[in-house]
Structure 1
Amino acid sequence: MSFLNTLTIFILTIGVLYGLNRLYLFLLRKSAAKVATQEEFQENMRNVQIIDVREKEDFNRGHILGARSVPYTISKAHKEYLTAIRKDKPIYLYDNKQTMAIYMARMLKKQGFTDIYILKEGYSGWTGKTKKK
């Protein structure tokens, strides 16, 4: 097999794997949370719990005003972090894009939380007010 054929197969394989990963994340998200646009996020900010699931260092560098830090990696290992999240108020999650927020939504859903939303473009697409520590 020539180098060009091998490279083509490699690139196609990467493309297929990427597509399967995106499909997997979509299905996880769909089963655990709804997507909220930036406008919906801003409109409802006063009546919800805004949770930043990024690592603490990222949160300290900048976060959505009013958000609190509940890193997914810590919550996954120490579920007691989830006791700070109320079940009677909607939960708005975000990370840099959506991946960690999807995993957190899935974990919250398994813990009995129901009203869960994920910021569509994550913090990287946020144009609203932010705060730095």
Structure 2
Amino acid sequence: MSLLYTLLIILGAVIVFSLYNYFQQKKILKTLNQDDFRAGYRKAQLIDVREQKEYEGGHILGARNIPMSQLKMRMKEIRKDKPVYLYCQSGLRSGRAAQQLYRKGYRQLYHLQGGFKQWTGKIKSK
């Protein structure tokens, strides 16, 4: 019986943590559909947070690749005074990247709804 209670407590903690992250991202990050994303990213810093091999397989034209695994080390490459448009494959990593950036003082944070897999605009691949 104590094993069941332990599992329920762990499950409850995971749910609370997930809900906290969800609402935190909603507060700090604006999710844009393709049209709004396309309209604004040329005046902003467009960052692809996927890993390099994913980026080389195809990316939005004009995007810089700063993988999530390197974000802490390369954060100085991103200006705080300009909007930051983020995207990844599905939208999860860009949300986590936005949380890291927000903690370091970035405030104009946007990401692509559905991520790169939903993108229908121009792409470049190596």
Q: Same fold (TM over 0.5)?
A: yes
Letter of the structure 2 residue corresponding to residue 90 of structure 1 = P
Partner of 1:43: 39
Letter of the structure 2 residue corresponding to residue 66 of structure 1 = G
SS of 1:59 mapped into structure 2: helix
Does the alignment pair 1:107 with 2:100? Answer: yes
The answer (yes or no) to whether the contact 1:87–1:113 under 8 Å persists in 2 is yes
- Deviating runs (4+, > 4 A) in structure 1? none
Q: What TM-score, normalized by structure 2, do the two folds share?
A: 0.83
Q: What TM-score, normalized by structure 1, do the two folds share?
A: 0.78
Match of 1:70 among 48, 66, 70: 66
Point out the structure with max Rg over C-alpha: 1
User: Where in structure 1 are there 5+ consecutive unaligned residues?
Assistant: 1-12
User: Where in structure 2 are there 5+ consecutive unaligned residues?
Assistant: 1-7
* Identical amino acids, percent of aligned pairs: 37
User: Superposed, which structure 2 residues align to 1:1-133 within 5 Å?
Assistant: 20=15, 23-75=19-71, 79-133=72-126
Please give the alpha-carbon distance, in whole angstroms, between the structure 2 residues aligned to 1:25 and 1:124. 23
The size of the alignment, in residue pairs, is: 115
> What are the Cα deviations for residues 27-85 of structure 1, in whole angstroms up to 9, with x where unaligned?
2311321101110111112201110000011000000011000001122xxx2301110
Please give the alpha-carbon distance, in whole angstroms, between the structure 2 residues aligned to 1:36 and 1:119. 5
Please give the alpha-carbon distance, in whole angstroms, between the structure 1 residues aligned to 2:124 and 2:59. 5
Please give the alpha-carbon distance, in whole angstroms, between the structure 2 residues aligned to 1:48 and 1:30. 20
